[in-house]
Every structure is written in C-alpha cells, then in structure tokens.
C-alpha cells in the first residue's frame, strides 16, 4: 500500500518512522491477535467521537478512553481500506497523543477518506517476550480529515471563574489570537486591562475590530479601530452608545455590539435594561439577559447615532443583532419588554437582584424569537419572524448567518440568553424552515458563542463539556448544512481559565500582535469618568474626576463646562458661572456657554446680565429657539412685556409647537390688556397639552 504522499517524503528522508514507536514486534503481534480473535469486552472511547472530521491543519488530538474491564495496557492503531497504517507503542495510561510527525502523516492519508481508529486493552505478562493470551477489551470509531482548511485564526477571551471574581480582578482577563495548528497556548495580545472589556466582533473583510470597553466607567463605551499588528486603545477610537439620545436621561450599556461586514457601521442594543445576577459557583456563575432595548446604529463615517426602524419599538426588547455577509440584512432576537413597576422610574440599567427573584427561582419565563429585517442603509424596514426559530416555546438567540447567506446557526434554550446550561446549537435555512439539532453539541451542557470561518466551512463554539471552564470546539459544515461531531481545540484550552467569545478573524495568523491600553493616564479619561458619575448622580465623585482632568489639562474648555454642570447640580451657581466664564474665555464662540451662564444669572435674579448673555448666544446661533424663549422670560421679569412678546414670537417661528412659549406670550399679552390675542395663544397652548394654559383659559377666556 502506498500511504505517504509527496508532501510527506521528507519524513522518510529524515529517518522518521510512520508509526509512533520503533517497529516493535510485540505491538504488531498484539494487534494481529486482536484482528484474528477480537476482544471479549468493549471499552468506551471518550474522545474523539465517531465520524469526527478534522481540519487539515489542526494539531494532534489527545485520544482518551475509559476501560472498566481490568485492562492495564493499551494500543491505539489506525486502519484505512483494511490496512493498518499507523500505531502507538504499548501504553500504560488511558490516553495518548500522537507526536506531530505521525499526526501529519495520519491526516495526509485520510484527506476525504474514512479511516478507523481502534483501541485495544490487554494485560501483558511480566515475562519478557511473552504476549498476552487474549485481548480483553476494544473499541473502534471512524474519522477523516477534510480538504477544507479552517483558514483563519480565532480571537477569544480567557476569564477566571467564578464571574464575580473576574469582575473584581480584571487583571486576570486576557484576549488571545489562536492558530489551531500550534501545540502551545496562544500568548495574550491584550491583558491586564484596568477596566471591563466584553463582546468583540470583526468586519467580514478583516479590516475593523469593535469591542465593548468600559472607558471611564461608562458601560456604553465602545472601541472601533482598523486592524493592524500593533493597536492602541486610545480615546480617539472610543465612542459611547450613551451618546444616543443622551438628553432623555435613559441609561445605555450597549450590549452585544456587532461591526458591519464593511466596517463602517456597528449595531448594538441601546436604551437597555437587563437582569444580572452573580452566582457564586464555577459552572454557571452569572445570569444575564436584556429585558428592554432597541437596536442602535453608529455610522463611523458620519459619526452619527441612530436607531434601526423596525427594530426600535419600545414595547419590545430587541437585542443580539448580527449581519448578513452582504450587509443588507440583520437578524436579531426579540421578546416583549418586561416591565417591572418598581424600577420604571429608576435610572438603573441593571435590575436589582431582589427584583429578579422570579427569574432566578424559575417562576418567570423569558423567551426570545428570531427576526430578520433589511438594513437598507440604516433605514430599516419591517421585522419578520423566522419560521422555525420563533414562536416555538423556546428561547432563540445568538443567530449567525453563514458567509454565503444560505444558513443560520443559532442557540436555543428553554429560557433567557447567554450562559444557559441547556443551550444547544441549531441550524436552519436562512429563509426559515425546520431547524436541525447539530451533531456538534456536547451532551448535557452549554453549547453557544459560535462563529463561522470566513470560508463558511467551519464553526467555532464554546462548550462546558469538560467541566466548568469553557473550552473551544470546531465542527465542519458541508454544502447541505450537515455538521460533524465536536473537535476540541486543545491548544486553546487553558488551565483554570474559561475560554469564551471565540471569533474567526479574516486575517493571517499574527495579524494582531498587541492591543495596548493608552487611555488611563489621559486627562480625557478622568473627564469621561466624571461624566459617567454625573449621569449616575454621583456628584462628588464626578467633581473629583473632573478636577483631576483639569490638573492634567488646565485649559480644557470641555472639562470646565462639565465642572460647571456638576456645580449646577450641586446648587453652586456662583461657582458654575465662574466655570462657564472660563469656557467662554477659552472658546468665545461657544453659544451654549453663554446660554447656560445666562440661565444661571436668571436664576440668581440678575435679569440684565442674563439678557446680555442671551443676546450673545443668539448672535452666535440665531436659529436656536431656546435662547429667544429665555431672553423673553428675562425681559418679562424686568417688566418689558412688549420685548418679551417679541422674543416669544421669534421662538415660535423656529418652534411653533412650543406650548410654553405660547403660554408665556399669552401671559405677557394679558399684562398689556391684549385679552383676545392672549386667549388665542392660550387656546393653541391648550391644544398642545399645556395644563397651565388650560387653567388660564377657564379663568380669562369664557
């Protein structure tokens, strides 16, 4: 039999043998005994699994078995077309890993050819040269090597457990770029990040990375950068999802963000609210899932935030978005917004544990359905449920399109999202249909966090099959969507570290060497930290952080502006006026600083000073209606009713639906006995819902 192809000729030339031991006559004779007589009992092969398909570049697996038949010695051998072509030496432990030379030869022989792996157990006599009388136990399985390469490295995160420990010891978390052909653990490309880093994703074209990074303790912060060997986490490359409609004072964490295939856009869950419970155990140490949120969009070209029409209904939780490879369609998970009365008025994004007890103890279900929607350059469309992955009594989430758009692989569990012990992977045609439970699922454990290889031939996913520390596995996907049993990526298994969020990256191995943090000592970091604390109502902490920022950069107008806003919240109007004055000195064209200072002067009854500031704000921004309204109110307080009416009229030209301006103009008109005109304003203001105007209508306009 000719069993060594051309690319392996060097193995022979270098004197390497095609079996894992010297040509040992005992081994050959023991195998011959098995082939002639068989075995009396069956042992159990723990790994690999029957019908396994290996990638052509993967490093050698560790073969493991359990033998309850009193065998103390074993041999592993391989057959192709009924001919033995490789074998181990006599083994005294129930596991064996072929050396790299032997494994490369085995793979070369089994490319698209089904071979068998057999393990035999026996007890060899201590008497030298004497063979065992019979084979006690044996078992066989089939496997082959695919011609389809994985073709890309895998980016993943290693985390200490339980999760609560990792949160309290962020320095123990690291990120790595792994090559499945290597035998050593991949080294960290990013480590000792002083803030929490979470979900990462990559553009299909391999040009852009996106990752959640809690910059300045802002949970909505997000890092977007062009991929290079050496990258820096710098403030210039960090945005925050909190900037989407920040003025509505509704919190945002920015969950499960995903970069678009071309790297221009990113999607995320915004205006979110979630259940999060730490659980002090190794196996499943957290319960986390969103119960509220819409799909937000960030356009890196225009630097603008928006929401995706059709996936922005506040009556639902819309989360976990993923792109089709052409960027034209989105798939996401949707469930009814779960309202908890006690937290509706709260600014908290994370629901207090005591209010999540029904979820924790299993009394309350929460299930997601999968929907698809056109992206349409951010204009969205109608969200349509995916048949077979919705309304099925289960929770469906983490959907990913195949690169050719033909298939969707998603996770299904009885309830919730993320780390569910019963999570299983399913595959379904992209247009919907009957989902198929995948062969790669390890039984009785979590299987999730999957990613397609760029060539669409493989999926990497996470599983807890070997204990609490999540490990990474591969499965092969053929043209009909059939998948193979799980293949452990052994060099990406780390002692006492969970491996999660694996993502194929469409770059060459080594395309990312280092991602370094360069923002902690930046003055802007203290500013962002202060801004976050201000949003959360921690005024003292915010003031401390912004003072630190000003020590680093004493001429930063943005920091002075932030400190002024903090002082306003603390009631220190005089100090706030001083800071707004400093902003104006540094940036004389900032109209909002004049408007803010004018508002403070108004509150301190310095109406003339307020009018002067509003005059300047209007000259810098004549299309801003608010300054006209504020100046009109200051004039009213000085008894200049005609001037007030003129300013309210200018305000209403810019914003005709400002019911407050209509009401205040009516009051000014009443002061100069223009009752009919005042009643017209009161009527319009009442129609716009102004309750004060309604009361005045009853009193003056009957």
Query: What is the pLDDT, as a whole number, of residue 282?
Result: 62
pTM over 0.85: no
DSSP code of residue 7: G
Residues 6+ apart with CB under 8 A from 388: 428, 432, 433, 434, 435
Contact 196, 532 (CB under 8 A): no
- Residue 11, pLDDT > 50, answer no
C-alpha distances out from residue 472 to 337, 347, 402, 459, 476, Å: 33, 37, 19, 10, 14
Please report, rounded to a whole number, the percentage of residues in the chain having pLDDT higher than 90: 49
Between these two residues, 531 and 467, which has the higher pLDDT value?
Answer: 467
Angle, CA of 465, 468 and 471, to the nearest 5°: 55
Which residue matches tokens 């819409």?
A: 294
Q: Quick one: pLDDT at residue 358?
A: 78
pLDDT digits 0-9 by tens, 428-469: 999 999 999 999 999 988 888 899 999 999 999 999 888 888
Contact 550, 562 (CB under 8 A): no
**201: which residues sit within 8 A by CB, 6+ positions away?**
209, 210, 211, 257, 258, 259, 503
DSSP 416-459: SSSS-TT-EEEEEETT----EE-TTPPTTS-EEEEEE-TTSSEE
Architecture of domain 6-145: Sandwich (2.60)
**Cα–Cα nearest to 636, from 597, 666, 596:** 666
Write a three-state SS string for 9-47: HHHHHCCCCCCCCCCCHHHHHHHHHHHHHCEEEECEEEE
pLDDT of 521 strictly over 50: no
Element holding 530 (H helix, E strand): helix 523-535
Beta bridge partners of 370: 333
Domains 6-145 and 154-517 share a fold: no
What pLDDT score does 15 carry? 30
Contact at 8 Å (CB) between 48 and 141?
A: yes
> In the prediction, which pLDDT does 563 show?
86
CA distance 424 to 412: 5
Mind listing the pLDDT tens digit for each residue in 29-86?
A: 889 888 888 888 899 999 999 999 999 999 999 999 999 998 999 999 999 999 999 9
Was domain 154-517 assigned CATH 2.120.10.30?
yes
Side by side, the strands of the sheet bearing 407-413 are 395-401, 407-413, 424-429, 436-437
Torsion of CA 230, 236, 240, 244, to 10 degrees: -130
Nearest one of 375, 398, 392, 243 to 319, comparing CA atoms? 398
Tokens of 120: 């035999």
Tokens of 570: 């603390």
Residues in the chain: 702
Domain residue ranges in the chain: 6-145, 154-517
The two tokens of residue 19 are 């079996």
């Amino acid at each position: 039999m000719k069993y060594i192809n051309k690319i392996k000729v060097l193995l022979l030339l270098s004197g390497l043998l095609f079996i894992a031991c010297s040509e040992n006559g005992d081994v050959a004779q023991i195998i011959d005994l098995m082939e002639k007589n068989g075995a009396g009992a069956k042992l159990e092969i723990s790994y690999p699994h029957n019908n396994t398909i290996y990638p052509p570049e993967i490093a050698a697996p560790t073969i493991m078995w359990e033998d309850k038949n009193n065998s103390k010695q074993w041999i592993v051998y391989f057959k192709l077309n009924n001919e033995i072509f490789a074998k181990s030496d006599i083994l005294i432990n129930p596991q064996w890993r072929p050396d790299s030379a032997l494994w490369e030869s085995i793979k070369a022989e089994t490319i698209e050819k089904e071979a068998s792996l057999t393990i035999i157990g026996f007890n060899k006599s201590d008497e030298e040269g004497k063979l065992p009388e019979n084979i006690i136990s044996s078992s066989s399985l089939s496997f082959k090597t695919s011609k389809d390469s994985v073709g890309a490295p895998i980016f993943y995160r290693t985390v200490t457990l339980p999760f609560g420990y990792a949160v309290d010891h962020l320095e123990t978390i690291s990120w790595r770029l792994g090559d499945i052909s290597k035998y050593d653990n991949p080294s960290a490309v990013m480590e000792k990040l002083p803030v929490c880093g979470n979900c990462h994703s990559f553009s299909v074209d391999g040009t852009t990375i996106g990752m959640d990074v809690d910059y300045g303790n802002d949970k909505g912060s997000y890092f977007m950068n062009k991929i290079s060997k050496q990258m820096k986490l710098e403030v210039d490359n960090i945005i925050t999802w909190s900037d989407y409609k920040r003025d509505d004072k509704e919190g945002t964490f920015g969950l499960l963000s995903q970069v678009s295939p071309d790297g221009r856009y990113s999607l995320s869950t915004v205006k979110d609210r979630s259940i999060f419970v730490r659980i002090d155990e190794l196996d499943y140490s957290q319960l986390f899932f969103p119960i509220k949120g819409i799909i937000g969009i960030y356009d890196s070209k225009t630097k603008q935030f928006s929401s995706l029409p059709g996936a922005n209904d506040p009556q639902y939780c819309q989360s976990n978005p993923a792109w089709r490879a052409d960027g034209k369609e989105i798939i996401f998970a949707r469930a009814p917004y779960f309202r908890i009365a006690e937290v509706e008025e709260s600014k908290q994004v994370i629901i207090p544990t005591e209010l999540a007890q029904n979820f924790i103890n299993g009394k309350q279900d929460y299930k997601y359905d999968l929907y698809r929607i056109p992206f349409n350059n951010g204009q969205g469309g109608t969200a349509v449920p995916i048949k077979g992955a919705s309304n099925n009594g289960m929770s469906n989430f983490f959907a990913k399109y195949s690169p050719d758009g033909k298939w969707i692989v998603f996770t299904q569990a009885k309830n919730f999202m993320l780390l569910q012990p019963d999570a299983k992977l399913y595959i379904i045609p992209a247009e919907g249909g009957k989902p198929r439970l995948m062969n790669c699922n390890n039984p009785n454990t979590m299987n999730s966090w999957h990613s397609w290889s760029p060539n669409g031939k493989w999926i990497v996913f996470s599983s807890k099959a070997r204990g609490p520390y999540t490990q990474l596995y591969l499965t092969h996907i053929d043209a009909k969507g059939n998948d193979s049993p799980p293949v452990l990526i052994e060099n990406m298994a780390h002692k006492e570290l969970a491996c999660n969020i694996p993502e194929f990256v469409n770059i060459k191995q080594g395309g990312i060497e280092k991602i370094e943090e360069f923002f902690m000592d930046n003055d802007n970091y203290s500013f962002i930290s202060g801004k976050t604390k201000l949003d959360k109502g921690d005024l003292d902490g915010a003031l401390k952080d912004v003072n630190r920022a000003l020590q680093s950069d004493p001429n930063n107008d943005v920091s002075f502006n932030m400190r002024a806003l903090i002082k306003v919240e603390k009631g220190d109007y005089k100090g706030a006026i001083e800071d707004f004055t400093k902003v104006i000195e540094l940036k004389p064209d900032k109209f909002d600083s004049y408007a803010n200072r004018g508002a403070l002067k108004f509150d301190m009854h310095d109406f003339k000073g307020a009018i002067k500031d509003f005059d300047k704000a209007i000259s810098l921004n004549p299309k801003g209606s608010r300054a006209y309204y504020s100046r009109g109110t200051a004039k009213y307080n000085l008894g200049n009713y005609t001037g007030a009416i003129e300013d309210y009229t200018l305000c209403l030209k810019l914003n005709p639906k400002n019911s407050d301006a209509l009401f205040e103009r009516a009051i000014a008109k009443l002061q100069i006995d223009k009752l009919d005109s005042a009643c017209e304003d009161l009527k319009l203001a009442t129609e716009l819902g102004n309750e004060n105007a309604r009361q005045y209508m009853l009193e003056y306009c009957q």
